[in-house]
Structure 1
Amino acid sequence: MELTYSKCGDYLIPDLVLSDTKEYHIGKYGRLRRAYLKEHRPILYTNLIVTEKLFPHLEEIDTACRERLEIIEKAMMQQEGVTEALKSA
């Protein structure tokens, strides 16, 4: 891969372009994961950024957490005997 550079004053700045242009919707759990990686796993965080895998990773984590939360909520509702009639009362 050949890099091109732009001269800005006395400096040569590499012309970098992100290859992935998909928009990712990162929710609460994705943001929490990013904060964790940034604070406690900075090398992994940097590697994910450089390889352009950070946002797909955060979206995957957010989706998995929301699905797991739904499963837990349904199990808790069954365990406590919550019904639609009870919720509307």
Structure 2
Amino acid sequence: MEKFIRDERTGLRYELIGDYYLIAGEDEPEGRPIGIWGQRHLRYLKQHRKVLYSELLISGKLNDYLADLNERAEELFSRLVKQLVEKEGVTEALKAENLMLWVQKMNSIRNTAMEIVSNDLIYA
């Protein structure tokens, strides 16, 4: 079977994926990056939300959906890190006094923020 076929009547191009021909996306690369958060959500969709994944893929909205989610996740992550830094009192003065303690606290803050973003956006 051919990898790509074109329907002359409709002008649509189809790609062989597994045993089925699905409408092929545009040949041009997407302008918006999916990013790490989008890739994690894509993995989640493929494993746990197969119907939603198929609907987004077939409609051609998957990349935009993942790029939007990635942007929201990045904004939430940045906001959470800033809030937690203020709450924990992690300052540049602490960094100058005790670098290892500052690194430990920043790693803890980043891990906390990553867990919140993952639970609220990525695996929801």
TM-score (normalizing by structure 1): 0.74
State the 1:19 CA deviation. 4.5
* Residue aligning to 1:31: 39
Alpha-carbon deviations, 1:62-84, whole Å to 9, x = none?
11011001111011111111223
With over 3 angstroms needed to count, the CA separation of the structure-2 counterparts of 1:30 and 1:36, relative to structure 1, is same
**2:64 corresponds to 1:66:** no
Question: Gapped runs of 5+ residues in structure 2?
Answer: 1-6, 15-23, 98-124
Amino acid at match of 1:15: R
With over 3 angstroms needed to count, the CA separation of the structure-2 counterparts of 1:70 and 1:15, relative to structure 1, is closer
Correspondence 1:1-89 to 2 at 5 A: 3-4=7-8, 15-16=13-14, 18-19=25-26, 21=28, 22-89=30-97
Give the 3-state SS of the residue equivalent to 2:47 in structure 1. helix
Verify the 8 A CA contact 1:20 1:52 in the aligned structure 2: no
Separation in 1 of the partners of 2:53 and 2:79?
A: 29
Separation in 2 of the partners of 1:54 and 1:20?
A: 15
Separation in 2 of the partners of 1:42 and 1:65?
A: 22
Instruction: State the structure with bigger RCO (CA 8 A, min sep 6), 1 or 2.
Output: 1
Note the aligned Cα RMSD (angstroms).
2.4
State the 1:88 CA deviation. 4.3
User: How many residues are matched?
Assistant: 80
With over 3 angstroms needed to count, the CA separation of the structure-2 counterparts of 1:85 and 1:48, relative to structure 1, is same
Separation in 1 of the partners of 2:52 and 2:42?
A: 11
Report percent identity of matched pairs.
32
